[in-house]
Structure 1
């Protein structure tokens, strides 16, 4: 057998454990070739150390740890050994990482065999294996208990003081710190729990569950974001309207969700974004992630704009159709969406759109250098013809003389003379 470390070296790694004296006795037994005794003393150190650790977690408010302690105490009161109860309770809670669970099972199995030998005399290999696993998994450091850590995180998340600041960067740091205690084996459970909380409280836009979820997304952890995508963006029965705003904030925080969503899921997401944008009569502050501006920004970040119009056609058409006159979108005149943008501008100038022509006139005047640079004479012709038609439908006043310097030549535009003073 090849031993990486001597038993004395293994002891040195765990000598600060509360039950190091048990391990010292186990080393003495090993060197005396009392291998069964070595196994029993080592396992005693492991299970007593684990019991104290679980008790400490219970004292600190870990709810599931308290359940394990209660079950152990009940077994002791009934005159039974607590070791089997401890192992089974942790297994049922999925508290241990798989490697730790296997190590604990091997230690307990060899302990039981050594305590009730039926001819088993113990051997050096078994004793060394138990010593090594005990030190590496349980005695030199405290073991990872991801399920218990997760339960504690979710309990803390219910506190109104979990996030000390409303700022996204501060919230992201809080989430990053919290995730240092969470093992990847618990990601699925975490995301499912967050989804349940988001669905149960959809109207509270700044709930801790939503803030934590968006903070997770911004960490850009591929395995975690894959799970978030599967839970929130792939739904056979379509998207829950109560989660619309949350999904918009998720794609604003991590635009890759847009390209990760394909096929029928993308069609449903496109329809959901349309429904979301239609709720707005006026655009909110541009700093608000749950807004058409940020949704368009995410599309532009993930695709070229022309590709975005093909990938999410209903969403892009809805944003342009409702908000082409807004200054937040005038930059589209300098992009691949210029033709769609101009068409949307002209459609905004319907007679029934009260004041739309004045809004467009103000937009052209305020950004005249931008538009004169990126719009051709033909583009300007179409816009001014629509302006004049809209104005004639309302009154016979001069059609924006202050913009006359932007107008193409009369012979090119063919504006009726009565429409221009």
Structure 2
């Protein structure tokens, strides 16, 4: 690691106060004063950990409040040279890493070991009697640099977030009815409680709680849009950690959840873009069968989402054919997917009398502006080509008027097609009184 890399690492310090302390240690390192560097690094760690305890105390943690109360009680006694207070204060400093680990869950196993080594080496540097007066301790530059890196990575760059308490804090935030549904705003909320700088174990525990909670949890998490918002936000903040956890959770739940709860997977498909790629083949097949066998009410909600995945297009096309008119109309209002538009055109062109045509037009109307020229031509020719009784329907006149106004195809082609496919009177109506009756 170069000196420039160290300067960049210093910028990761969470607070300006912590940065000032560690800059002193870096300055010593650059000057080759490695003993002073290690001592200053330990001072920065102790200062930062005590500062974190004070922050936690403000949030109401009783253990942290007791430590802060002790420190506040020691200070005036130390100023009076009270040996008992000095000893207790030094004992707290010596055990600060263990306290933060056991009582507040700040660290993971190897991090505790790294910080314990820093404390041991600090004692060797600051107390000549540890080595003997004849052979003063001379740490290497590599050792000093390692302690600097560990101090910043494990302590100074981290927010004061406690293991289980951190996860509980996130859940309290997410279960609030005011938690934002917008992903960017959700990220701001999560960052405000320190989730942009926490240990991997906290991220793993939090994303597990949210993912399992969305499908299998209680009423404060299950199936709620704000839970999805938190999952997506945390995943964007820590994609390398969250991705594998979400994938594992989805596949486990996909094999065991009840059929009604499988519907929640469509919420994930809609809002979390990696859902389908994470599902294994058996769970993908289960989702496909749900689309295929779903009742009409579920199909209306599931198909617009399913059509976003290429692998679900064919089963969605099949299910669309079995929907009632109202269901197809509702889906056409939600999505303009080519398969939906094609289904609306097919239905209209299958009309065998003018009454059915007028009814079927309800599904076609929402997608009129999305029709291709070939689909327009098909509808115009449907009376001859598909024996559809369209020209006698009021809806066919409305359709032709829309095409005439928007010129989806040229007006000349429209009129010629009508005149050669049984729609002569519709063509006459379009051209009769153009200046007065047709507002274009």
**What band does the TM-score fall into relative to the shorter chain?**
0.5 to 0.7
Matches within 5 A, 1:332-347: 335=338
Call closer, same or farther: CA 1:205–1:67 in 2, change over 3 Å.
farther
Tell me which residue corresponds to 1:308: 312
Deviation at 1:104, TM superposition (A): 0.8
CA distance in 2, matches of 1:335, 1:102: 60
CA distance in 2, matches of 1:331, 1:159: 32
Structure 1 position 133 matched with structure 2 position 147: yes
CA distance in 1, matches of 2:298, 2:269: 22
Aligned match of 1:188 in 173, 182, 204?
204
Call closer, same or farther: CA 1:241–1:331 in 2, change over 3 Å.
closer
What's the CA shift string for 1:343-372, capped at 9, x where partnerless? 77899x9xxxxx987631444578678453
Deviation at 1:145, TM superposition (A): 5.0
CA distance in 2, matches of 1:342, 1:3: 67
CA distance in 2, matches of 1:209, 1:139: 30
Structure 1 position 45 matched with structure 2 position 43: yes
What's the CA shift string for 1:4-49, capped at 9, x where partnerless? 59xxxxx9x999569969x89xx7xx9999x6xx699557625632
Tell me which residue corresponds to 1:372: 376
Structure 1 position 95 matched with structure 2 position 106: yes
CA distance in 1, matches of 2:49, 2:368: 75
CA distance in 2, matches of 1:368, 1:15: 60
Q: Is the 8 A contact 2:251 2:279 kept in 1?
A: yes
Aligned match of 2:394 in 379, 389, 402?
402
Larger helix share, 1 or 2: 2
Tell me which residue corresponds to 1:322: 323
Moved more, 95-104 or 187-196: 95-104
Tell me which residue corresponds to 2:426: none
CA RMSD across the alignment: 5.9
Call closer, same or farther: CA 1:138–1:177 in 2, change over 3 Å.
closer
TM-score (norm 1): 0.58
Call closer, same or farther: CA 1:44–1:125 in 2, change over 3 Å.
closer
Corresponding residue SS for 2:106: coil
Deviation at 1:330, TM superposition (A): 8.4
Q: Is the 8 A contact 1:146 1:183 kept in 2?
A: no
CA distance in 2, matches of 1:367, 1:43: 67
Identify unmatched segments of 5+ residues in structure 1.
6-10, 284-290, 350-354, 388-398, 414-421
- What is the number of residues matched between the two proteins? 360
Q: Is the 8 A contact 2:56 2:160 kept in 1?
A: no
Corresponding residue SS for 1:124: coil
Tell me which residue corresponds to 1:359: 359
Aligned match of 1:144 in 150, 158, 162?
158
Aligned match of 2:217 in 196, 200, 222?
200
What's the CA shift string for 1:193-250, capped at 9, x where partnerless? 2134333225764474343124445779465344323322454634455644542222
What's the CA shift string for 1:136-184, capped at 9, x where partnerless? 7259982415852884464154148967575535644535645433455
Deviation at 1:253, TM superposition (A): 1.7
Q: Is the 8 A contact 1:157 1:208 kept in 2?
A: no
Aligned match of 1:155 in 169, 177, 195?
169
Identify unmatched segments of 5+ residues in structure 2.
5-9, 72-83, 401-416, 423-440
Deviation at 1:265, TM superposition (A): 2.0
Deviation at 1:338, TM superposition (A): 7.3
Call closer, same or farther: CA 1:16–1:190 in 2, change over 3 Å.
closer
Structure 1 position 229 matched with structure 2 position 221: no
